[in-house]
Amino acid sequence: MGVPHVFAAAFGVEVNAFSPLATGRHDFAALCHHQAGALGDDVPLIAAPLVPLRRLQAAGQISLSEGMVAAAQPGGLLTRATYEALAGELLADLASAGNVDLVVLGLHGAMSAHGLPDCDGDLIMRVRQLIGPRARIAVLFDSHGTLSAAMVEAADLLICYKEYPHTDIADCAERLIDLAMAILRGEITPAKAVHDCRMISVYHTMHGPMQALVADLRARETAGEALDISIVHGFVWADTPDTSARILVTTNGDAASARRIAREIGAQLRALAGTTHAPLVPMQAAVARAAAVSTPPLLLADTADNPGGGAPSDATWLLEALADAGVGNLAAGIIWDPVATELALAAGPRARLALRVGGKACSLSGRPLDLEVDVLATSDQASVPFSGREWPMGKAAGLHVPALDWYLVVSTLRTQCFAPEAFSRLGIDPAARRVLLVKSSQHFYAAFRAIAADILIVDAPGVLDHDPGRLPYRHITRPIWPLDP
């Protein structure tokens, strides 16, 4: 075999079936949509395999054709037209590349469209139909994805991130490409097995029992028991027949061992049911803590309104409760409110104006807050850093509410409050505040723990309700824990 020809592309979005915000072409344009060959050096996380692939191309070890790279902020169901258009663009790029030996895809895994619950499986199957049985397919996807039979059948190699927060994306991309190249060289023959745990939950891996479980599966890989062991967490807010935590094990030609290991890891995960995520603090208890905080700043994570899970990021339930309790010297963000943001930008810094903030997207957003604010700073192209790159906020403004002594960040694009820079770049010092409120579930943790005296994950109302029993599932396969005994 000569120099292998590799095609690589990326396409994904995390879809929350209960979000009111349909995902369309404009959402990809706002975050990431690069046509074939147009992606520069700033490689988005969903396209992480391109980093090692470009290195191999530079060394003359492969010939690389780059296809479309497209990703959107998590939201509601894709419009079917959006999925078909972008999938068609990717497949056309693949067809234009000619004969290929390997297709590498960066996906999310929880992408659903109207009438098509398993977009990822559909896309991989369509890639397989285009390239035929000889070429190989390797896929990297988010651990919050859904693993379907179509994905397993059509792809030769599937690996998902092992850590949540997702701190190991680059490492997983390197592993994917190392194994894919070994497959091309004939050094390994992948055998896959899947164990369905029949669970829906959240699995934090940076501490506690999940940290130990991930360490165990890494040790098994190092010892040569498997090429890869992936715990596919699933996405609690997806609603498909395949929504469930599943264990995916890939061995070198040993299907029986793959099945055995998948069952063993699955049993370990089942035994951890109910212990795998940080405890949620009831909203009123969190507000009481905020009112009595002695060592600031206390950080409150408004997890049910996390835009990283498809929520609008404009809910006011927690803010209203804090106002009622008289909690001042508070900074909150990033609140998605295009109207308030545009009005603040039009007024400009040092202006004072009346604004109606938040509470606009749906009934789970709460009531708008009518505030008199001072505009501290504005930006036409704001961003917040996370995992080595900048995430766009669109237009943004830093606001001060004198009557409450609050500091707010509003923006025109939904973006998680990943880091303190979301505040500091807009004239607000987060370390000087008594209370911080961030619209995020987990990805804020690494950047904020350096300044936060304490962190509470708050159980407030919102689109990302953390109690599966309160979510109106219609398509999930039953029985499943914790909905059923």
pLDDT in tens, 154-178: 999 999 999 998 999 999 999 999 9
The residue ranges of DSSP E strands in 25-101, in sequence order, are: 32-34, 63-71
Instruction: Identify whether the C-beta of residue 196 lies closer than 8 Å to the C-beta of residue 231.
Output: no
**All domains of the chain in start order, with CATH:** 5-271 (3.40.50.2300), 281-465 (no CATH)
**For residues 127-140, average pLDDT:** 98
Q: Which residues contact 138 (CB under 8 A, 6 or more apart)?
A: 49, 102, 103, 104, 105, 155, 156, 157, 158, 159, 176, 177, 179, 180, 183
Strand, helix or coil at 438?
Answer: strand
DSSP state letters, 255-303: HHHHHHHHHHHHHHHHHTTT-SSPPPEEHHHHHHHHHT-SSSPEEEEEG
Helix (H) or strand (E) holding 81: helix 80-97
The predicted-structure confidence for 283-302, as pLDDT tens digits, reads as follows 999 999 999 999 999 999 99
> What's the pLDDT at 207?
85
Helix (H) or strand (E) holding 127: helix 119-131
The predicted-structure confidence for 49-88, as pLDDT tens digits, reads as follows 999 999 999 999 999 999 999 999 999 999 999 999 999 9
Query: Is a pLDDT exceeding 90 seen at residue 388?
Result: no
Percent of the chain surpassing pLDDT 90? 95
> What's the pLDDT at 89?
98
- Tell me the residue type at 176: L
At residue 247, what are phi and psi to the nearest 5 degrees? Answer: -105, 125
What percentage of the chain's residues is helix, strand, coil (to nearest 5)?
30, 25, 40
> What's the pLDDT at 277?
85
> What's the pLDDT at 231?
98
In angstroms, the CA 81 to CA 87 distance is 10
Instruction: Identify whether the C-beta of residue 122 lies closer than 8 Å to the C-beta of residue 86.
Output: no
**For residues 98-126, average pLDDT:** 98
Average pLDDT, the chain: 97
Read off the DSSP letter of residue 167: -
The predicted-structure confidence for 245-274, as pLDDT tens digits, reads as follows 999 999 999 999 999 999 999 999 999 999
The predicted-structure confidence for 5-58, as pLDDT tens digits, reads as follows 999 999 999 999 999 999 999 999 999 999 999 999 999 999 999 999 999 999
> What's the pLDDT at 332?
98
- List Cα–Cα distances, 338 to 122, 151, 312, in angstroms: 34, 38, 12
Unique residue bearing structure tokens 């927060």? 165
> What's the pLDDT at 485?
83
**For residues 354-382, average pLDDT:** 97
> What's the pLDDT at 195?
98
Least confident of 97-111, 217-231, 463-477: 463-477
Report the predicted TM-score, pTM, of the whole model to 2 decimal places.
Answer: 0.92
In angstroms, the CA 311 to CA 46 distance is 20
For residue 297, say if its preceding peptide bond is cis, omega within 30 degrees of 0. Answer: yes
Instruction: Identify whether the C-beta of residue 205 lies closer than 8 Å to the C-beta of residue 164.
Output: yes
For residue 49, say if its preceding peptide bond is cis, omega within 30 degrees of 0. Answer: no
Query: Is a pLDDT exceeding 70 seen at residue 1?
Result: no
Region for 169 from its dihedrals, namely left if φ exceeds 0, alpha if ψ lies in -120 to 50, beta otherwise = alpha
> What's the pLDDT at 278?
79
Instruction: Identify whether the C-beta of residue 148 lies closer than 8 Å to the C-beta of residue 121.
Output: yes
Instruction: Identify whether the C-beta of residue 408 lies closer than 8 Å to the C-beta of residue 337.
Output: no
In angstroms, the CA 421 to CA 204 distance is 24
